[in-house]
Chains A and B, each alone.
Chain A
Amino acid sequence: MYPDEFKYTREHEWVKLEGELGVVGITFHAQQALGDIVYVELPKVGSQAVQGKAIGTVESVKAVSDIYAPVSGEVVEVNEALTQTPELLNRDPHGEAWLAKIRLSAPEELERLLSAAQYRDLVAEES
């Protein structure tokens, strides 16, 4: 369920390294807890993400939730498809429904994130 090559936050975001870029998304557990996702607010391309600070929001029928940046750096690309089809986040949260790509300004931050095994434990505790 939770790919080993991803790193995870306690707030249920994931990041995957692609060269010097970090691809960022929300986890399967996050979309499941939110339920039917109906609206996504993405960060602006060119904006600066700061680890642990909000870069956008995701809304389901029942609630609004902030998306926190798992890593710091410049936002170089966002997944515009989500604006039209936010439900993609329910269908493929770890793949097609990535949110943004961030050029890492402090790669050492990755060490503060959870491994897949640690994240699985967190989800088990919360469920």
Chain B
Amino acid sequence: MVGFGGWEMPVQYSGIVEEHLAVRRAVGLFDVSHMGEIEIRGPEALALTEFVTTNQASRLQVGQAQYSALLYEHGGFVDDLLVHKVADDHYFLCVNAANQEKDYEHIRRRNRFRAEVEFAGPRYAQLALQGPRALETLAKLTETDLGALAYYHFTDGRVAGAPARIARTGYTGEDGFELYLPPAEAPRVFGELLAAGAEFGIRPCGLGARNTLRLEAKMALYGHEIDASIRPPEAELNWIVKMDKGEFVGRKALERLAAAGVRRKLIGFEMRGPGIARDGYPVYVEGRPAGWVTSGGPAPYLNKNIGLCYLPLELARLGRPMEIAVRGRLIAAETVPTPFYKRARAN
């Protein structure tokens, strides 16, 4: 177990590789109760949500979720998050555990609307059921028609008798569900999900597999790919920034950045030489220091050593040979297209 922002969490149960492969091939269950929840309610809940997030909340239907970001006025990331529209006057935000107090304060201080902001983390536990057999597993424990729930949609229902917000979202690159439940019910539901998934080979999964899975799928992790010093176009996250939606926090800085030109970019790489890139290792191009690794490690499903790094824009080209300084030794690597892993979709 490791300490994580006041939570005791397992890095692994049976082993990162086994857990990782269970999610890619069958189903895995994560206790992600450390994640934070913030609720915005009131007649101007939408106006506040639009003002503090970068994606277009006004395009959400009730029961739909979107990936988005909170930015500072200077354009750097406060956090990334999922915005769920519960009702016209109610938005439910899922944010990173370590950032939840900061995010709450950030939103509250910019609230000049008729809206209330609630720090709701303590009211929710969260379980993530992920993998190609996640639907069959969950279907045994709920009357909700899961097949009718499209990707990035959610509904309120019951799981194993417990009230639950059931969202078809995830952080693994697989199909799956994230369940928000009352904390008192979570341990029992966790056990029932494990029992329901036993016939498919379900594995309880820890923080280690969560990280290797999201890296293969090239999903950003706050503190690695994004932080206060990084702005969305640098992190290749312009797709969650809607510049034409009107005023929002960070917009002016992004306009200035667009005018001045982006100077660095996140890009994926694979190791070509024997060595594993880890977070923070320096990147060299043609013998000169050029950037740094934001996340790196073995990719258990792909059986390669992969990573993400920031490079100056003029160097961030696919197929570029480069080197990673692995504890003082330069090891060959090459930039590659991302995501490293993309699941085959039926539709």
Whether A61 contacts B208 in the complex (CB less than 8 A), given A35-B12, A36-B15, comes out as yes
Whether A38 contacts B327 in the complex (CB less than 8 A), given A61-B16, A61-B17, A62-B208, comes out as no
CB distance from B217 to the nearest CB of A (A): 16
CB distance from A87 to the nearest CB of B (A): 9
> CA separation between A36 and B276, bound complex, in Å?
14
A57 touches B327 (CB 8 A): yes
Verify if A59 is at the interface (C-beta below 8 Å from B): yes
CB distance from B4 to the nearest CB of A (A): 14
Verify if B278 is at the interface (C-beta below 8 Å from A): yes
B278 touches A62 (CB 8 A): no
A36 touches B274 (CB 8 A): no
Verify if B197 is at the interface (C-beta below 8 Å from A): no
B298 touches A38 (CB 8 A): yes
Closest A residue to B329 by CB, please name it: A41
Verify if B297 is at the interface (C-beta below 8 Å from A): yes
Contact digits for A79-110, partner B, Cβ 8 Å, 1 yes 0 no: 00000000000000000000000000000000
Whether A36 contacts B278 in the complex (CB less than 8 A), given A62-B12, A62-B297, comes out as no
Verify if B275 is at the interface (C-beta below 8 Å from A): yes
> CA separation between A39 and B276, bound complex, in Å?
8
Whether A61 contacts B11 in the complex (CB less than 8 A), given A35-B208, A36-B17, A39-B276, comes out as no
Which residues of B sit under 8 angstroms from A61, Cβ to Cβ? 16-17, 20, 208, 212, 297-298, 300
Which residues of B sit under 8 angstroms from A64, Cβ to Cβ? 276, 278, 327
Count A-B pairs with CB separation below 8 Å.
35
CB distance from A28 to the nearest CB of B (A): 15
B275 touches A36 (CB 8 A): no
Interface size class of B (residues with CB under 8 A): 10 to 19
CB distance from A96 to the nearest CB of B (A): 19
CB distance from B220 to the nearest CB of A (A): 19
- In the complex, which of the residues A57, A60, A61 has the most CB atoms of chain B within 10 Å of its own CB atom? A61
A residues 52-78 touching B (CB-CB < 8 Å): 57, 59-62, 64
A35 touches B16 (CB 8 A): yes
CB distance from B264 to the nearest CB of A (A): 26
> CA separation between A59 and B208, bound complex, in Å?
14
> CA separation between A57 and B275, bound complex, in Å?
11
Whether A39 contacts B15 in the complex (CB less than 8 A), given A61-B297, A61-B300, comes out as no
Which residues of A sit under 8 angstroms from B15, Cβ to Cβ? 35-36
Contact digits for A33-50, partner B, Cβ 8 Å, 1 yes 0 no: 001101100000000000
Of the candidates B16, B274, B275, B327, the one whose C-beta lies within 8 Å of that of A62 is B16
Which residues of A sit under 8 angstroms from B12, Cβ to Cβ? 35, 62
Contact digits for B310-337, partner A, Cβ 8 Å, 1 yes 0 no: 0000000000000000010000000000
Which residues of A sit under 8 angstroms from B276, Cβ to Cβ? 38-39, 59, 64
> CA separation between A38 and B298, bound complex, in Å?
8
> CA separation between A59 and B305, bound complex, in Å?
12
CB distance from A78 to the nearest CB of B (A): 15
Which residues of A sit under 8 angstroms from B275, Cβ to Cβ? 39
Which residues of A sit under 8 angstroms from B208, Cβ to Cβ? 35, 61-62
> CA separation between A60 and B275, bound complex, in Å?
12
CB distance from A31 to the nearest CB of B (A): 11
Whether A36 contacts B327 in the complex (CB less than 8 A), given A61-B212, A62-B208, A64-B278, comes out as no
> CA separation between A22 and B212, bound complex, in Å?
37
> CA separation between A62 and B300, bound complex, in Å?
11
By a beta-carbon cutoff of 8 Å, the part of chain A in contact with chain B is 35-36, 38-39, 57, 59-62, 64
Going nearest first, the 5 A-B pairs with the smallest beta carbon separation are A61-B16, A36-B17, A62-B208, A38-B298, A61-B298
Q: Known A-B contacts: A35-B15, A36-B15. Give 9 more (CB < 8 A).
A: A35-B11, A35-B208, A36-B17, A61-B17, A61-B212, A61-B297, A61-B300, A62-B11, A62-B297
6 contacts between A and B (CB under 8 A): A35-B16, A38-B298, A39-B275, A61-B20, A62-B211, A64-B276
